[in-house]
Amino acid sequence: MVDMEALERALKWAEENLKAEYIELRYEDLRKTTLGLKDGVFTSFTGKLHRGVAIRVLADGAWGFASTSELENLEKKIEEAYKLARAAAQTKKEKIQLAEIDPVEDFVKSKMRVKPREVDIEEKVSHLRELEKLLKEDEAVKSVQIRYEDGGGKKILLTNEGTRIEWDYNYLYQGTYVTGKADGKLAMARDSIGAVDYGWELMTEIEPNEKVKERLLRKMHSQLKGVAPKRGEWPIVAGPIVVGIIAHEALGHLAEADLTINSPFKDLIGKQIAPEYVTMSERIVEGGFGNDKYDDEGVPVKDIHIIENGILKEIMLNREYAHKWGMEPNGHARAESYRYPPIIRMRNTVFEAGDHSFEELIEDIKFGYYVVDFRGGQAQLNSAFQVGIQEGYVIRNGEIAEPIRDTSITGVAIEALKKISAVGKDFGLEVGFCGKGQTAFVSSGGPHMRFDGGILIG
């Protein structure tokens, strides 16, 4: 175990012996539980301790990074990061500088009512078994796979600027996948739930097994009974989860400052890119998987409007890019674990609600599609996206009609934004993981939205 005093001693040694502009120590001590259940058999059943320190040093305008799980000789590791920074500085044309921040001293208390580590492993096992049993009561279900993970412990951040933050850090996640077969047709459906602010109460009260089962079976049966859609650019009403994946994949990445530089957003800041009733934010959300009080550089997490009333306004920044762009850092430096340096990442990327009811969104559509949930998605830096649809329906004469199957939607988000004709007054959220060389917990969502063009289906 390492304590605050040991970290303080190592930092003091570094301040006295190294000529560095900035020194950061991030300590993590987390116990993680992973359970995997596939068709009655537990394929994984592990409890692991993740403990170590990340060291980041800025010297001569360049970064050096080292990480270690051997906590005895931290001074040596700090020196290693320092030497890496000095070496990197020889190759750098432009010196890295950090935006100024006020150092913070704080203890971030968990909001969870029942922390996962307080729940017996037997209860977690029976929870997974019960979900599998509920799903297999449906004759069409041929296979069920559930992945469960939780973690709990503490994180500490210390810097030579005086920041001292300790987190009581906890999370839990469950991903469920079903395969179904009926009348010679195959279908797959997935569902994910997770939280950093809710504890085991997520599983028992907020997202109980019965609710997860209903969602999964609805998605699976809509595919088994579905018809192939007519390829074309029809009016599309997108549900909160599909709206969220467009916000995250096709637009959110463009607003991460390290990617903005090479994206169409670079020249669009301050310009109208969507109708004035469209606002897209990166913010703390009730139940958001990306919620936190501070980022991994000790910067308070701020709500930002990427698009405000149709105008491209703000981007996600760490301290380095905030200095580059001459902007205020807003708390988007995140690291997967002590093994990685923090980079600019999304948290909860959402479109904000408007003032239309669902009925108003579909009432005058003679023929179009309602896309509810996605299976997988990808996007390019020009905002072109392709998203597989795992639940969708035909809209005919203002009514929801038969389900559709085997389909995806494609488009260029910057163009599709202009075709948003109405925004719903509801709001929904999905949780998941985002990869960018490292994994981060994220949420995405929004209200129902109507696109009159800009999205191709089929």
Give SS3 for 202.
helix
DSSP state of 286: T
Task: Please write the tens of the pLDDT for every residue from 1-31.
Answer: 677 889 999 999 999 999 999 999 999 999 9
**Quick one: pLDDT at residue 4?**
85
**Quick one: pLDDT at residue 162?**
98
**Quick one: pLDDT at residue 125?**
98
Q: Are residues 371 and 408 in the same domain?
A: yes
End position of a domain, from candidates 206, 225, 244: 225
**Quick one: pLDDT at residue 1?**
67
Query: What CATH number does the domain containing 184 carry?
Result: 3.30.2290.10
Q: How crowded is the C-beta side of 132, counted as CA atoms within 13 Å?
A: 20
Task: Please write the tens of the pLDDT for every residue from 129-162.
Answer: 999 999 999 999 999 999 999 999 999 999 999 9
Q: Are residues 109 and 211 in the same domain?
A: yes
Domain span holding position 181: 4-225
Q: Are residues 104 and 168 in the same domain?
A: yes
- Number of domains observed in the structure of the chain: 2
Q: Are residues 58 and 26 in the same domain?
A: yes
End position of a domain, from candidates 225, 242, 259: 225
Q: Are residues 322 and 202 in the same domain?
A: no
**Quick one: pLDDT at residue 378?**
86
The segments of the chain whose pLDDT lies below 50 read: none
Q: Are residues 216 and 254 in the same domain?
A: no
Give SS3 for 447.
coil
CB 381 within 8 A of CB 428: no
Q: Are residues 187 and 236 in the same domain?
A: no
Strand positions, DSSP E, 259-360: 280-282, 304-308, 311-312, 333-334, 343-344, 348-351
Tokens 């600027």 locate to: 161
**Quick one: pLDDT at residue 316?**
98
Cα dist from 425 to 278, 352, 450, whole Å: 12, 9, 12
Question: Torsion angle of alpha carbons 441, 447, 448, 454, nearest 10°?
Answer: -70
Tokens 């469209």 locate to: 278
Task: State the pTM of this model.
Answer: 0.96
Residue 270 to residue 257: CA distance in whole angstroms: 15
Q: Are residues 195 and 280 in the same domain?
A: no
The region, left, alpha or beta by phi > 0 then psi within -120 to 50, assigned to residue 298 is: left
DSSP state of 252: I
Q: Are residues 164 and 258 in the same domain?
A: no
Q: Are residues 171 and 71 in the same domain?
A: yes
DSSP state of 204: I
End position of a domain, from candidates 189, 209, 225: 225
Token couple for 78: 């700090």
